[in-house]
Amino acid sequence: MAHAPSDPPFRMLRGYAFDPSLSTQLETAVVNEMAFRVRWERGLGPGPVGEYLEVVDYDPASGCFYEPVELDHPALLAQDGLTPSEGNPQFHQQMAYAVAMVTIANFERALGRKALWSPREIRPPDGAKPARRRGKQTAPEDQYFFDPPAVPMGGCTKRNRETGWSAEYVPRLRLYPHALRQANAYYSPDKKALLFGYFPASENEPGSHYPGGLVFTCLSHDVVAHETTHALLDGMHRRFIEDTHPDGLAFHEAFADIVALFQHFTYPEVLRHQIAHTRGDLASQSLLGQLAQQFGQAMGSHGALRDALGRVNPETGKWEPRQPDPDDYLNVLEPHDRGAILVAAVFDAFISIYKTRVGDLFRIATGGTGVVQAGALHPDLVNRLATEAAKTAQHVLNMCIRALDYCPPVDITYGDYLRALITADYEIVRDDDRGYRVAFIEAFRRRGIYPRDLRTLSEDTLRWSAQAEEVACDLEPLCEVLREFVQRHTYLTAQNQEPAWWAAMGGAKAAKWDELSGRERIFWTMEHYGMQLNLRINDPRFDADRDRFARLTGLFLSTADPPPGLRLGREGRPRFEVHSIRPAMRAGPDGDLLSEVVISITQARKVPLDPAAFPSPEWYRSRSDVDGETEIPSFTFRGGCTLILDLESQQLRYAIVKRIDSGNRLRRQQAYRSGGTLPGLRATYFGDALGGREPFAFLHAQHEAEP
Amino acid sequence: MPTTSKTGDAGVRVRMYRQGLGDCFLISFPKRGGGRFHLVIDCGVILGTDTAATRMPQVARSIARETGGRVDVLVGTHEHWDHLSGFIQARDVWEKEIRVGEVWLAWTEDPSNALAAELDRDRKRKVAHLRAAAQRMSGDAAFGAAAEALEGVLGFFGGLGAAAGGGSTRDAMEGLAQRPEARVVYRRPGEPPVSLNGVDGVRVFVLGPPEDRTLIRKSDPTKRGAEVYELAGSMSLADTFFAGLGLSGDAAMGNAAMDPELAELAFPFDRKHRIPAARAARSRHARFFRDFYGSTDEERDAGRDAERPGGWRRVDSDWLGVAADLALALDSDTNNTSLAMAFELGEGGPVLLFPADAQVGNWESWQLLSWPADPAQPDGAKITADDLLGRTVLYKVGHHGSHNATLRQNGLEKMTSPDLVALIPVDQAMATRKRWKMPFGSLYERLKTKTRGRVLRVDQGRLPLEEAEKYGLTQAEWKEFERRTPEDTGPDALWIEYRLDHRPKRSRRPSSTRRAARGEPAR
């Protein structure tokens, strides 16, 4: 053979656009089965096991495995994968894989970089002494060493000699399509896995399901997209799963629903059918609202959407959009209902944008009147409308995902997210001629969501503020490291050459650099430069600017008079963690090229749960909560910042700050954590016995549980 | 020894026993022409209390002594260990030293009531199944804490064998219903107010448990009217879950073994698709299963699966987490069968509220009740739950102060009497050991505010003056409260009391009644 044909760009895999129940309804059956365009992965193993995902089909309740699907088998390649079928576990594996891959692709497209899962953090075994080297002064790089992968196809582990903690790179998210026998599906941050459940449909309200028949959550497009989004979000912002604010977990939920929802709208075949089918007042909210609601129903256990956008009026029997209430944000505290507010706000913005985009099409199609005549719509018009809707959905989805780079690393609120949305979009599209940002601001304002610390509500004030002028801080020492990082980062995907530090830290013993996957190389490069940045901030050369840097970032870096409970490292220096550094190189529609780096730095303090408690200095230093005779419960209070640095001008473009010494935020968290709001019943009895381990399992189950 | 007070024999005494996390109350009313009428509500302490074996007989003997061996009415509010354990742990005292006039139980204990029998059957089945689940989970290191928590919830139904000192809540409840000397009365909500033999002016209003299927199940996690409606032959969520336990080789299933046809239905896929874990090593994809999961049962049984590289990603026990939901449902359902009562002292007078552990559905159902203010005029003015709540001067806090057993809007917020006092049968140290939030922070705070610091706790007694002052109690008022709340100063510190004045006839000068009840010194 002269030369092998090149890899195809996509692998087509058949699946359900919604979930199997819609295939049994005449109205929706035609659009419910579609083929997902999944990025081609070379050498996809049985499972499937690819670069990002591994599907392992063990069903512990039935005590059995199901054979893994081999998508590279010629018979499956020739027919776009297996035919949709509820009774075939291999199809279930294919469906979960396909939807999760599409979700990942959406993230990568919006962010312009590879998606990484959060690393597995391994606590040192109890009583283990840190293996510190004696005698010689250790070079900072000696603090770490690498262990080879523990399992076939696993990732390396980096261990910190001083603290004993290690971080294991997790190459693939694991999907268990049949892990639970309950109406639940969740992302397990501990296992880096998605667990899907199956359950008998309710006898009393089966909905569109066959009563008593089994419902598989892994066959619902929205459930899979929702859970995958949880994992992707956790990969970017590890601290968002800490329940520190009524918005925290609600944001996780809402964001996952937003992605699931808009991902649907990007499938034109689905939209086309619906637009043609429900002709009439096409531009009105009710069509797309209703459509979204169907998705909500199909979601099964995830009901955030169900009432977010509107409901059927019991008197008229017609669907009506829900009127936004500016008090919602203040009054609704249950995570799912609160999440629904955010979903509704984003959906509202989407509708406004869509309306402005299709106004001209309607005028053209109706001879300028804009009034649509009775009868079916012209198929060309349907096509154009569907294209516009799909395009708008993709834009909104991109905006929502991209905003994640501009979020604070801890303690996110909806107001922060709005500011992140506006800032992120401004950065890439300076000229907002379609009014996208205005649409978002208006939709959020109508629900009472806006940052509480702004004097006015406009695009200017909502954008995160750039570097304060009065604080002049020479950031060159930091930029130096970061420039090297950016060069390396783009470089390393092309070149397989081993960097010097990999060998210096004992990496060569763990694995050959060129045998690591591209994503693992990116991961370790980020870790390495994060560490370099950490050293640089502590470097004597930065002494002159460190306090000014601290003022910009809301961190506490000085050794003098630290706030109580701040974690300290060597020589009494405040400990801080460079949480992540992410290159952001994007081309805007005007052809501008942005070369920026997004850095998250966090700090932690041990603080008492009770604001009235005044523990002794020993308590603050101790690991236990015992203070002399009494026990004072504690929790970890985090602060930090997300910095966006322009590498060329060494300017700090944005500093998104949650101050570590904020008394206000501390008091709010104390009040929130000690139960200002009613916890679920489970919290009373089970507390952290399960909740600390599987936050999403709880959140989802609790929503089911409460009447 | 009890301090004597001005209130003396003329008043009503509410004695809260201090056995730990559990309920035991002795209320005594002055009888016409001398003597006292004794009513005991519950006698129990939570499973796992070390001192139970000595403490509960002490409590029972104290009751025997105080009542002269004659309890006029004995109330068993609901079938939970922390309300009934004493009848087993101090069985001798209860059988030999105490005679009981009437036993009051909720209608839900009445074997001749169809709905009650149905609830009971359902409960028995679930308890047995959940015990099996807990046992299975405790075998897995990752689920140890959850299993413990599950055992904790199941502990409300008594322990297994030795842990309980031989006996379950069912035994205790049946023991009450079968006392040879006593007359058993099943109380129903909304029945005409009950008067106490020989006591003037006291009426008992029965508020709950509701006789409505929906309300008694409110707090049911599955939202779906529950298994009782199921068509024969179909599988419910709980069934598939339990079937999984059976299939996984657990012999501890409570009831008869599962019908093989049903068991097959519980599987999600046909037999041809299933590769039993034990045979995975011999299957075509053995290597895949080993590399990505590590398949053998022997490994799992030896407890080595978690140590195995990659073992941290296994999901062997996660599916058992649903047991928590089922257990909570069961627990809440049982709490909702609580016999809730209000004692009115004199027509239109102050009220003592004893809701046992009633939860949302039970509380809400009270709103549907009303009684004619004057029995002779059934269509005249009505007494409603709101009236009773508004006149409540003593509130026995439900379920040891947990967040879900004191209704906010239609409950605590309607208790507007300035004389309100709260009794909280809680032992916070024990609750913390079980990792329960009791008393629940914001509820406790609200109780202190509403009572202006006049709360009595099993573990801590009354609030010290300095703390009560923060809630607006004056020093004089605190002194008066102290005078009305004598406690057992002996080595056992067995009880604390609250004493109220009782004027059987409607007072002509209500203002002075109010003043006196509030504890202000008469001028």
SS (H, E, C) B175-192: HHHCCCCCEEEEECCCCC
Residue A10 covered by a domain: no
Judging contacts by C-beta atoms under 8 Å, the chain B residues touching residue A701 are: 321-322, 325
User: Which segment, A95-104, A226-235, A318-327, A581-590, is predicted with the most confidence on average?
Assistant: A95-104
Q: Chain B: nearest CA to A62, how far in angstroms?
A: 6
Residue A188 covered by a domain: yes
Residue A622 covered by a domain: yes
Cβ atoms within 10 A of the Cβ of A401, count?
24
Residue B484 covered by a domain: yes
- Domain identity same for B177 and B227: no
- Domain identity same for A306 and A449: yes
Say which residue, B512 or B58, is predicted with more confidence: B58
- Domain identity same for B86 and B46: yes
Tokens of A366: 């109706």
3-state helix, strand, coil in chain A (%, to 5): 45, 20, 40
Do B383 and B370 contact (CB within 8 A), yes or no? yes
B106 pLDDT exceeds 50? yes
User: What is the Cα–Cα distance from A366 to A358, expressed in whole angstroms?
Assistant: 12
**What band does B224 get if pLDDT is binned at 50, 70 and 90?**
very low
Residue B202 covered by a domain: yes
Closest chain A CA to residue B332: A681
pLDDT in tens, A315-341: 666 666 667 777 777 777 777 778 888
Predicted confidence at residue A129, as pLDDT, reads 55
Residue B288 covered by a domain: yes
- Domain identity same for B68 and B123: no
Cβ atoms within 10 A of the Cβ of A370, count?
14
Write the CB contacts of A629 (distance below 8 Å, at least 6 apart in sequence): none
- Domain identity same for B435 and B464: yes
Triad B340, B226, A683: Cα angle to 5°:
65
Cβ atoms within 10 A of the Cβ of A518, count?
13
**Residues spanned by the domain of B176:** 8-113+167-206+333-356+365-518
pLDDT in tens, B290-331: 888 875 555 555 555 556 677 788 888 788 777 777 777 777
- Domain identity same for B282 and B413: no
Q: What is the mean pLDDT of residues B15-44?
A: 93
Triad B258, B259, B260: Cα angle to 5°:
105
Amino acid A383 reads N
Coil, helix or strand at residue A125? coil
Triad B414, B419, B424: Cα angle to 5°:
75
User: What is the Cα–Cα distance from A171 to A642, expressed in whole angstroms?
Assistant: 25
- Of the candidates A154, A199, A705, which has its C-beta nearest B310's C-beta? A154
Triad A680, A684, B148: Cα angle to 5°:
125
- Of the candidates A191, A198, A675, which has its C-beta nearest B313's C-beta? A191
Do A98 and A13 contact (CB within 8 A), yes or no? yes
Predicted confidence at residue A130, as pLDDT, reads 54
Residue A671 covered by a domain: no
Q: What is the mean pLDDT of residues B99-124?
A: 88
Q: Is A195 on the interface with B (CB under 8 A)?
A: yes
Interface A-B: count of C-beta contacts within 8 A: 213
- Only one residue has tokens 């529950």, namely B226
Predicted confidence at residue B232, as pLDDT, reads 30
Coil, helix or strand at residue B396? strand
Q: Chain B: nearest CA to A176, how far in angstroms?
A: 8
Characterize the bridge pairing of strands A185-188 and A173-180.
unpaired
Q: Is A182 on the interface with B (CB under 8 A)?
A: yes
Q: What DSSP string describes A149-177? A: -SSTT---EEEETTT--EEE----EEEEE
Q: Is A174 on the interface with B (CB under 8 A)?
A: yes
Write the CB contacts of A515 (distance below 8 Å, at least 6 apart in sequence): none
pLDDT in tens, A549-595: 888 888 888 888 888 888 887 777 888 888 888 887 666 556 666 67
Cβ separation B436–A687 shorter than 8 A: yes
Cβ atoms within 10 A of the Cβ of A190, count?
14
- Domain identity same for B66 and B194: yes
Cβ atoms within 10 A of the Cβ of A546, count?
18
Interface test with A, best of B151, B219, B267, B322 (most A CBs within 10 A): B322
Tokens of B468: 């009560």
- Domain identity same for A105 and A226: yes
Predicted confidence at residue B43, as pLDDT, reads 94
- Domain identity same for A528 and A646: yes
Q: Chain A: nearest CA to B450, how far in angstroms?
A: 17
3-state helix, strand, coil in chain B (%, to 5): 40, 15, 40
Percent of chain B with pLDDT over 70: 79
Amino acid A291 reads L
- Domain identity same for A369 and A502: no
Coil, helix or strand at residue A364? helix
Residue A6 covered by a domain: no
- Domain identity same for A280 and A408: yes
Q: Is A376 on the interface with B (CB under 8 A)?
A: no
Cβ atoms within 10 A of the Cβ of A125, count?
7
Predicted confidence at residue A594, as pLDDT, reads 66
User: What is the Cα–Cα distance from A325 to A337, expressed in whole angstroms?
Assistant: 13
The answer to which of B51-65, B434-448, B461-475 has the lowest mean pLDDT is B434-448
The answer to which of A139-148, B9-18, B106-115 has the lowest mean pLDDT is A139-148
**What band does A285 get if pLDDT is binned at 50, 70 and 90?**
very low
A124 pLDDT exceeds 90? no
- Which of the 8 DSSP states describes residue A334? S
Beta strands in A571-700 (DSSP E): 577-587, 593-608, 626-627, 630-631, 634-646, 651-658
B184 pLDDT exceeds 90? yes
What are the CA-CA distances from residue A516 to residues A149, A173, A521, B367 (Å)? 10, 17, 6, 68
User: Which segment, A58-62, B307-311, B317-321, B395-399, is predicted with the most confidence on average?
Assistant: B395-399
- Domain identity same for B101 and B190: yes
Predicted confidence at residue B248, as pLDDT, reads 42
- Domain identity same for A300 and A202: no
Interface test with B, best of A686, A688, A696, A699 (most B CBs within 10 A): A686
> Counting beta carbons within 10 angstroms of the beta carbon of residue A528, is it exposed (0 to 12), middle (13 to 18) or buried (19 or more)?
buried
pLDDT in tens, B348-381: 899 999 999 988 788 888 988 999 988 788 888 8
**Residues spanned by the domain of A690:** 677-707
The answer to which of A187-191, A430-434, B280-284, B513-517 has the lowest mean pLDDT is B513-517
- Domain identity same for A302 and A350: yes
- Domain identity same for A303 and A207: no
- Domain identity same for A514 and A661: yes
Say which residue, B150 or B521, is predicted with more confidence: B150
- Domain identity same for A365 and A506: no
Q: Is A626 on the interface with B (CB under 8 A)?
A: no
Predicted confidence at residue B329, as pLDDT, reads 73
CATH of the domain at B79: 3.60.15
Q: Chain B: nearest CA to A688, how far in angstroms?
A: 8
Average pLDDT, chain B: 80
- Domain identity same for B173 and B269: no
Judging contacts by C-beta atoms under 8 Å, the chain A residues touching residue B324 are: 682, 685-686, 690
Residue B3 covered by a domain: no
- Domain identity same for B268 and B252: yes
Restricting to A residues 128-167, those with a Cβ less than 8 Å away from any Cβ of B are: 150-154
Judging contacts by C-beta atoms under 8 Å, the chain B residues touching residue A62 are: 244, 247, 266-268, 274
Predicted confidence at residue B225, as pLDDT, reads 30
Predicted confidence at residue B519, as pLDDT, reads 42
The answer to which of A277-281, B47-51, B54-58, B395-399 has the lowest mean pLDDT is A277-281
Cβ atoms within 10 A of the Cβ of B471, count?
17
The answer to which of A244-248, A295-299, A608-612, B21-25 has the lowest mean pLDDT is A295-299
Residue B1 covered by a domain: no
Beta strands in A88-247 (DSSP E): 120-122, 144-147, 157-160, 166-168, 173-180, 185-188, 193-200, 214-216
Cβ atoms within 10 A of the Cβ of B106, count?
25
Domain boundary among A190, A218, A236: A236
Please tell me the total count of domains within chain A.
5
Element spanning B394, H or E: strand B392-396
Predicted confidence at residue B230, as pLDDT, reads 29
Predicted confidence at residue A141, as pLDDT, reads 59
As a whole number of Å, the CA-based R_g of chain A is: 26
Do B423 and B498 contact (CB within 8 A), yes or no? yes
User: What is the Cα–Cα distance from A3 to A40, expressed in whole angstroms?
Assistant: 19
Q: What is the mean pLDDT of residues B377-389?
A: 89
- Domain identity same for A208 and A290: no
| Strand ordering across the sheet containing B461-462 | B194-195, B202-208, B340-345, B351-354, B392-396, B421-424, B455-457, B461-462
Say which residue, B151 or B32, is predicted with more confidence: B32
- Domain identity same for B191 and B48: yes
Coil, helix or strand at residue A56? coil
Please tell me the total count of domains within chain B.
2
Tokens of A120: 């597995």
Residue B523 covered by a domain: no
- Domain identity same for B401 and B457: yes
Judging contacts by C-beta atoms under 8 Å, the chain A residues touching residue B229 are: 203-204
Predicted confidence at residue A308, as pLDDT, reads 59
Say which residue, B14 or B149, is predicted with more confidence: B14
Amino acid B3 reads T
**What band does B510 get if pLDDT is binned at 50, 70 and 90?**
very low
**What band does A96 get if pLDDT is binned at 50, 70 and 90?**
very high
- Domain identity same for A48 and A145: no
Residue B2 covered by a domain: no
Phi, psi of B103 (to 5 degrees): -110, 125
Say which residue, B404 or B179, is predicted with more confidence: B179
Say which residue, A66 or B336, is predicted with more confidence: A66
Judging contacts by C-beta atoms under 8 Å, the chain A residues touching residue B274 are: 62, 64-66
- Domain identity same for B36 and B137: no
Average pLDDT, chain A: 79
Predicted confidence at residue A212, as pLDDT, reads 58
Judging contacts by C-beta atoms under 8 Å, the chain A residues touching residue B223 are: 704, 707
Coil, helix or strand at residue A342? helix
User: What is the Cα–Cα distance from A115 to A124, expressed in whole angstroms?
Assistant: 28
| CA dihedral for A88, A92, A93, A98, sign (positive or negative) | positive
Do A16 and A23 contact (CB within 8 A), yes or no? yes
A647 pLDDT exceeds 80? no
Q: Chain B: nearest CA to A479, how far in angstroms?
A: 39
User: What is the Cα–Cα distance from A578 to A278, expressed in whole angstroms?
Assistant: 52
Judging contacts by C-beta atoms under 8 Å, the chain B residues touching residue A675 are: 403, 437, 440-442
Q: What is the mean pLDDT of residues A361-379?
A: 81
Closest chain B CA to residue A197: B319
